């Protein structure tokens, strides 16, 4: 998501400049044709254009409202990941202990189990965010020229998953996870198996085991919600038809707008000939304003349909996951030099 000054009107103008140049060229052709050629007969009434415009405005409003709901739900899900992760880290540190052991286990071994569980949770977040960044066939916004020209990429596109998981999983666990289709689910299975072994060894009290299993259940729930948004696109019948309706309006609009300005100019020419003759050219900025607003609002809706695609308008799941990792490792007492830094926000964009 954009976080800096780049997310401004200037950025929006740059983001839509290719379409804006087309709109300038298109309306200029129509104005020049009416100005230099005798085609005043080529006109359509305002009524059908107004009806199409009203329908497009309603559909764009519906789309943007639905898309905002998807983005906000995704942000709430990952907010839940933040809270549940901190809870899990706290529970693991306080519930894995010698209190109910028949034979005292060395503190070093207990700390190793706590670290293993914590690191495996970080591996789960890593596997989940990598899964969310895998492009689906309907996710094409990130490939648009204005979204690639900055040269900034998601962390998931720069480092392979195996390399990203390696610091957090033992070799045997890593091979097991990478062999599965749903790697984040495999990590949670490993967590549950490990907790069961700790319970059997007496390092986790039975009630504490149920509490920890409940946290894993919540993580499964949050994972499923996140996967639901990722795997179920915004209905294509709405997205595609809305796109066609918008372009239908913008392509037909000059045939109603330019003759209107021509007619007004003819009336002005009765008292101010020069102004009346040139008045038709004022149609260009008016059309540009209308076309830019309709197109930009429709494109904002298309851009927000997939909140995990990897564009500057997405939920910053990589930044969120790295923030949780820093919290967990700091509370393990690790040296700050060993803890990774937050992902950089190039051009004010967090992924």
pLDDT digits (tens, 9 = 90+) for 208-236: 889 999 999 999 999 999 999 999 887 77
Segment 297-316, tens digit of pLDDT: 888 888 888 888 888 778 89
pLDDT at residue 151, as a whole number: 67
In the structure, what pLDDT confidence band is assigned to residue 291 with cuts at 50, 70 and 90?
very high
pLDDT at residue 9, as a whole number: 66
Q: What is the DSSP letter of 307?
A: T
The reported pTM is 0.86
- Rounded mean pLDDT of 44-72? 88
In the structure, what pLDDT confidence band is assigned to residue 188 with cuts at 50, 70 and 90?
very high
| CA quadruple 115, 120, 126, 132: dihedral sign | negative
Q: Is the Cβ–Cβ distance between 27 and 251 less than 8 Å?
A: no
pLDDT at residue 1, as a whole number: 53
d(CA 219, CA 214): 9
Segment 128-170, tens digit of pLDDT: 999 999 988 887 777 777 667 666 788 888 899 999 999 999 9
Is residue 98 over pLDDT 70? yes
Q: Is the Cβ–Cβ distance between 154 and 311 less than 8 Å?
A: no
Is residue 4 over pLDDT 60? no
What does 323-339 look like in DSSP terms, one character per residue?
HHHHHHHHHTT--TTTS
Q: Is the Cβ–Cβ distance between 294 and 251 less than 8 Å?
A: no
Give the lowest-confidence range in 62-71, 194-203, 272-281, 319-328: 272-281
Higher pLDDT: 279 or 196? It is 196
Q: Is the Cβ–Cβ distance between 28 and 253 less than 8 Å?
A: no
Q: Phi and psi dihedrals of 349, rounded to 5?
A: -110, 125
Q: What is the DSSP letter of 342?
A: P
Residue 161 burial (CB count, 10 A): 18
Is residue 8 over pLDDT 70? no
In the structure, what pLDDT confidence band is assigned to residue 6 with cuts at 50, 70 and 90?
very low
pLDDT at residue 220, as a whole number: 95
In the structure, what pLDDT confidence band is assigned to residue 107 with cuts at 50, 70 and 90?
confident
Residues 6+ apart with CB under 8 A from 222: 77, 78, 80, 81, 84
User: Could you give the 3-state DSSP secondary structure of residue 349?
Assistant: strand
d(CA 138, CA 351): 20
Cross-strand partners of 96: 204
d(CA 70, CA 83): 20
Higher pLDDT: 2 or 76? It is 76
d(CA 247, CA 296): 12
Is residue 172 over pLDDT 90? yes
């Amino acid at each position: 998501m954009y976080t800096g000054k780049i997310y401004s009107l200037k950025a929006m103008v740059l983001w839509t400049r290719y379409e804006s140049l087309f709109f300038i060229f298109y309306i200029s052709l129509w104005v020049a044709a009416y100005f230099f050629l005798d085609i005043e007969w080529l006109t359509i009434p305002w009524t059908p254009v107004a009806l199409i415009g009203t329908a497009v405005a309603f559909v764009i409003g519906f789309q943007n409202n639905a898309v905002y709901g998807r983005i906000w739900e995704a942000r709430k899900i990952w907010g839940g990941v933040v809270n549940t992760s901190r809870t899990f880290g706290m529970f693991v540190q306080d519930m894995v202990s010698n209190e109910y052991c028949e034979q005292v286990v060395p503190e070093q071994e207990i700390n190793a189990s706590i670290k293993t569980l914590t690191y495996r949770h970080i591996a789960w977040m890593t596997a989940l965010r990598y899964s969310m960044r895998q492009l689906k066939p309907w996710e094409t916004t990130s490939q648009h020229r204005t979204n690639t020209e900055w040269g900034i990429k998601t962390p998931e596109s720069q480092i392979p998953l195996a390399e990203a998981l390696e610091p957090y999983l033992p070799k045997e666990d890593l091979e097991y996870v990478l062999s599965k289709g749903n790697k984040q689910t495999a990590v949670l299975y490993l967590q549950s198996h490990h907790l069961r072994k700790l319970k059997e060894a007496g390092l986790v009290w039975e009630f504490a085991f149920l509490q920890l299993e409940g946290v894993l259940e919540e993580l499964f729930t949050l994972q499923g919600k996140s996967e639901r948004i990722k795997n179920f696109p915004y209905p294509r019948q709405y997205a595609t038809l809305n796109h066609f309706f918008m372009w239908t309006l913008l392509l037909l609009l000059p045939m109603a707008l330019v003759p209107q300005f021509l007619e007004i100019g003819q009336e002005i020419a009765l008292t101010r000939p020069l102004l009346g003759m040139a008045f038709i050219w004022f149609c260009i900025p008016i059309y540009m304003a209308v076309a830019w607003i309709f197109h930009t609002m429709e494109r904002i809706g298309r851009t927000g349909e997939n909140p995990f695609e990897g564009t500057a308008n997405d939920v910053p799941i990589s930044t969120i996951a790295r923030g949780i990792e820093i919290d967990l490792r700091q509370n393990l007492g690790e040296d700050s030099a060993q803890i990774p830094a937050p992902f950089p926000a190039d051009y004010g964009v967090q992924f």
